[in-house]
Amino acid sequence: MTIIINDAEGINGMRAVGRLTGQLLDYLTPFVKPGVTTNELDRLAEQYTTQVLHATSAPLDYQPAGYVPYPKSICTSINHQVCHGIPNDKPLKKGDIVNIDVTLIKDGWHGDSSRMFVVGEASIAARRLCALTYESLWHGIMQVRPGAYLGDIGHAIQKFAEGHGLSVVREFCGHGIGRKFHDEPQVLHYGKPGTLDKLEAGMIFTIEPMLNAGRRDIKELGDGWTIVTKDHSLSAQWEHTILVTPEGYEVLTLSEGGPPLPAFVKA
Ligand code: MF3
Ligand code: CO
Ligand code: CO
């Protein structure tokens, strides 16, 4: 149970892959339109990753213990799909909300980020869920500084989410990341302040809350990957890769094309 403290070389490697990860999401953004299939987004992502970014897609053939190998380069989770949706030939339609989750490997380092996209115009409820989940991620990020606890992050997210009538998925969490895709610690999106591991400068992990409009319960589909809400309510997720700095935090997967930071995040 040890959390890696990255040295300057690791931090530079993670900054570089984090930048590329944000760049890939920016590249995909204009293609997320009614009529595009998630297989087409997957193909565009794989091509841009290898040919432009000179990087590798970590999800392709990824096989944690107990899983079948993941068959695609990105995850695309639509509407009531919570996470790990597998791209297919079904076109996106107006009103869908879709999470695109990308993980790149560059020089052995991993960068992991996901965003929500609204296809055409979505309902007010769908847009509200996406916006509040984004804000919940940033409430978690703002807890990050040396001496804070992992439980502070989870608590901030849970309090904000439940305060707005949304539920927090428990079965999946953020994770340490670096030379490994999924490393210690687990970064829960619920919890109590002052509990779990104490943060130190040089730690790098993701925060990636999944919030449901309905109940928190989930189930896995027969493909061995796709997670959906049990009650079929809408679900949203946003993810960034975060470095603990001596002053607080650095978001490694920021990019020009992402959404503006929430107003409550001070520069
Ligand atoms: N990117 C996901 C995460 O945030 C993991 C996806 S595993 C995959 O941790 F195999 F489905 F890609
Ligand atoms: Co992740
Ligand atoms: Co991810």
Q: Give the model confidence (pLDDT) of 60-69 as tens digits.
A: 999 999 999 9
In-domain check, residue 138: yes
pLDDT band at 266 (very low <50, low <70, confident <90, very high): confident
169, 173, 181, 240, best to mutate for ligand 1 pocket (most atoms within 8 Å of CB): 181
Please report the pLDDT score of residue 267 as a whole number: 62
Q: Give me the mean pLDDT over the 236-253 stretch.
A: 99
In-domain check, residue 267: no
Residue 241, burial from CB neighbour count under 10 angstroms (0-12, 13-18, 19+): buried
Tell me the pLDDT of the chain averaged across its residues.
Answer: 98
Is the pLDDT at 17 greater than 90? The verdict is yes
Q: Give me the mean pLDDT over the 8-14 stretch.
A: 98
- CB within 5 A of ion ligand 3: which residues? 101, 112, 239
Q: Give me the mean pLDDT over the 207-212 stretch.
A: 99
Please report the pLDDT score of residue 224 as a whole number: 98
CATH number for the domain harbouring residue 17: 3.90.230.10
Distance 239 CA to ligand 2 centre (A): 7
Determine which residue's CA is closest to atom 7 belonging to ligand 1: 59
Please tell me whether the overall predicted TM-score, pTM, comes out greater than 0.75 for this model.
yes
CB-based burial, 15-46: b 16+ in 10 Å, e otherwise: bbbbbbbbbbbebbeeebeeebebbebbebbb
Is the shortest distance between the CB of 138 and ligand 1 below 6 Å? no
Is the shortest distance between the CB of 62 and ligand 1 below 6 Å? yes
Is the pLDDT at 101 greater than 80? The verdict is yes
Determine which residue's CA is closest to atom 8 belonging to ligand 1: 59
In-domain check, residue 61: yes
In-domain check, residue 106: yes
- By percentage, how much of the chain surpasses pLDDT 70? 100
Indicate the number of domains in the chain. Answer: 1
CA distance 248 to 202: 11
In-domain check, residue 260: no
Please report the pLDDT score of residue 222 as a whole number: 97
Q: Give me the mean pLDDT over the 49-77 stretch.
A: 98
Q: Give me the mean pLDDT over the 38-47 stretch.
A: 99
Please report the pLDDT score of residue 1 as a whole number: 72
In-domain check, residue 266: no
In-domain check, residue 261: no
> At what angle are helices 38-47 and 8-28 packed, to 10 degrees?
140
Q: Give me the mean pLDDT over the 217-223 stretch.
A: 98
Domain range spanning residue 110?
A: 8-254
In-domain check, residue 3: no
Is the pLDDT at 193 greater than 70? The verdict is yes
